[in-house]
Amino acid sequence: MDKNNKTIAIGTHKDPYKVPLNLKQLSIYLQYIIPSSKREMKEIFGKFELDSASRRRQLNTIDFTTDANERKTLQNINKGLTMELFASGMFSYFDHPSEVHSNCLVNRYQPQGAVDDSQYHVVPKNYAQGGMPDVQIDYTNFMVILEVSAMEKPSLEYFKKQLNGALKHARSIRENGYDKPLYCLAINERSLDLTKNKFELEKVLETIKPSEQIYITAISIQEFADLGQEMAGTYENDISNVQSDNLLSVLKATVENGVDGQFHEEFVKCLDDLKPKEPYEWTSQTSVDI
């Protein structure tokens, strides 16, 4: 596994952005989003330069329309934005795609000592706005889009809304001329281990025609974090062997199982198959005369 931090593309112009955490760190810190501890979230925001001091230094401010609850609003913005960066950063390790593009908003500022307009630093500013998926990974034969949410204890109605949002974004990409299969992965606190979540996913899947070639599944934040830790631990030496064809097989196996599909489990199966098999050792038996 590549221990160096990955570089992803962010914003409209796909500016390069080096994720400040490696895979192991991403998968560990991702779990902090679930309990939403203010102390832990503050540490995460600092690492992504989203804390108040960093935002002021980089003129990376948010213009609010009202003064009411601004601190809470900024907390929610930072939380949603870091969730998008977590998902983008982690997915860049899955099969080392050439580009993982986060549609978050960015701020370009000139660092002190810059000599011309071509010298600027890019930092994430706000989470992806409506009308586009949070994250896109475009392969030659298929596309993956991620719809993420850092909301604590999202309602079933919110879960359904996120799934429908993924479908809407996929159909928009299709209408713009993309003709290859589209795989949508929704990531939030809800798991498909629960029947009621499966039921909501099933209702959304029933609205998709086979001819659309749009496939949707979901994974919880905890399951996504656990997968990242397995990748960084048990399968550390096997990640580099994963190719886009392997990922496509994982996605196909997941969606073929419909509401029972478990992306994280299928990916671990793939890693097991790619793991070098230890040679079988023959043991000679010696007869002993009694």
Question: Which string of DSSP letters, residue by residue, matches 246-275?
Answer: HHHHHHHHHHHTGGG--HHHHHHHHHHHHS
Confidence of residue 74 (pLDDT cuts 50, 70, 90): confident
**Amino acid letter for position 98:** S
Q: For residues 131 and 269, which has the higher predicted lDDT (pLDDT)?
A: 269
- Give the Cα-Cα-Cα angle 152, 46, 148 (nearest 5 degrees): 35
- Indicate if the pLDDT at residue 278 is higher than 80: no
3-class state of residue 49 by DSSP: coil
pLDDT in the model for residue 286: 52
Q: Which of 7-11, 84-88, 145-149, 280-284 has the lowest mean pLDDT?
A: 280-284
- Give the DSSP H or E segment for 200: helix 195-205
Percent of the chain with pLDDT over 70: 88
Q: For residues 109 and 115, which has the higher predicted lDDT (pLDDT)?
A: 109
> How many Cβ atoms are within 10 Å of 198's Cβ, its own excluded?
17
**pTM of the model as a whole:** 0.90
pLDDT in the model for residue 61: 86
Domain borders along the chain are 7-111+119-271
Q: How many CA atoms lie within 13 A of 203 on its CB side?
A: 13
Beta strands 7-10 and 15-18 are antiparallel
Q: For residues 30 and 64, which has the higher predicted lDDT (pLDDT)?
A: 30
pLDDT in the model for residue 2: 54
Distance, CA of 171 to CA of 177 (rounded, Å): 10
- Indicate if the pLDDT at residue 111 is higher than 80: no
- Indicate if the pLDDT at residue 206 is higher than 50: yes
pLDDT in the model for residue 290: 44
Average pLDDT, the chain: 90
For the domain made up of 7-111+119-271, the CATH class stated in words is alpha beta
Give tens-digit pLDDT for 115-164.
666 677 899 999 999 889 999 999 989 999 999 999 989 999 999 999 99
- Indicate if the pLDDT at residue 93 is higher than 80: yes
- Indicate if the pLDDT at residue 71 is higher than 80: no
- Indicate if the pLDDT at residue 212 is higher than 70: yes
Confidence of residue 68 (pLDDT cuts 50, 70, 90): low
> What number is the average pLDDT over the span 205-219?
97
